[in-house]
Amino acid sequence: MTRALVTGVGMTPFGKHPAESVEDLGAAAVSEALEDAGLAPSDIGAVVSSNVLGGGAVGQRVLERVGLLGLPVVNVENACASGSTAVHLARGMIEAGQHRTVLVLGAERMTGMFQGGITLDRTDRPTRIGLTIPAVYALWAQAYTQRHGMPAELLANISVKNRAYGVNNPLAMFRAPVTAEEVLASKPVADPLTLLQSCANSDGAAALVLTSEAHDNGRRRPVRILGTGLSSGRPIDRATDLARLEVSRASAETAYRSAGVTPRDLDLAEIHDAFTIGEVLATEALGIAEEGRALLDDLIPINASGGLLSKGHPVGATGVAQIVELTRQLRGEAGDRQVEGARTAIAHTVGGGVGTLEAIASGTVIIG
């Protein structure tokens, strides 16, 4: 089987960009990825574009800016797992022999769209009576801490860790460290979660050039997409275990099986930490920690980029940006945040938005 290689990466700074459109951000990331790969727009065979909030045909609108016209374009929306979904689809195009080179784009502009958290526009009853995404994560946090008999204050350590990593990421929105005391004293959001345990909405874009292993030009040490997994959530009922993230467990099992690796083979991870409890549940769902141990054990480096808690969360760009970070890590190009000797890495996202479902989707990507 011919694997897909990541041969080019590009990413804008994440943050508030009120003067830049989603097209501006996307074009900047695509141009950087093409330059990194040493390719011209004419070398691309197809495009998969990830966006959630930008309206129709974001991919085509961005591509017009960089002269990529007339190509097959797939626009993907799968909530916060959109970027991972785009990588999953692009990998399949290459492994099936449909295209030699595929561009993956994730772009989002959220400035001015929401006052506070993302507004759910679904029509399910829990949403209509006030359920919000912070409240969903708070329920997970309460279930987890009660199940495992540990104080919720331990969750603050996730913020401390990720903001410490973010200090060394020049593309992160927040680059100042925080203490556990500051995290716990910050504004309450949904008990037990506080403001500094919650990621910020942000603007940004990321892009990847994927190339068939059989047609690699050998410019750099190859970074291969070893496996991917994609799953969607099931309806919540009385049997649902809120202390386990089953949707992410399912996507991870598929990714491990297709990659031919196990959690023991991983050197680092980028995990969806929209809220601190999200990283905890996903770390265990991915098998990196045993159940109830994610806050207690020494683990591989998780979110060396700073995670969403440092970078912010431009939802359509997040999953693609995770692969940008991991590619730079495996190439040895991550600067002061470099994880030495890293050879195999995993990226994970999960998207919410319907109160009656465990989640909309979860995507997992393993590269090495």
Enumerate long-range contacts of 94-98, CB under 8 Å, 24 or more apart: 94/2, 94/3, 94/4, 94/210, 94/211, 94/212, 95/1, 95/2, 95/3, 95/4, 97/2, 97/212, 98/45, 98/46
Q: In Å, how far are 35, 55, 248 from 288, measured between CA atoms?
A: 35, 37, 12
> How far apart, in whole angstroms, are the C-alpha atoms of residue 107 and residue 331?
24
Asked whether the beta carbons of 137 and 278 are under 8 A apart, the reply is yes
166's tokens:
């973010």
- By residue count, the chain amounts to 368
Q: In Å, how far are 117, 146, 239, 319, 328 from 242, measured between CA atoms?
A: 21, 11, 9, 24, 34
Contacts of 23 (CB under 8 A, 6+ apart): 58, 61, 62, 64, 65, 107
> How far apart, in whole angstroms, are the C-alpha atoms of residue 86 and residue 161?
29
Q: What angle do CA 129, 130, 131 make, to 5 degrees?
A: 110
Contacts of 317 (CB under 8 A, 6+ apart): 14, 29, 50, 83, 106, 107, 108, 204, 205, 206
> How far apart, in whole angstroms, are the C-alpha atoms of residue 247 and residue 255?
13
DSSP state, residue 155:
G
Positions annotated as catalytic residues are 80, 313
> How far apart, in whole angstroms, are the C-alpha atoms of residue 217 and residue 106?
25
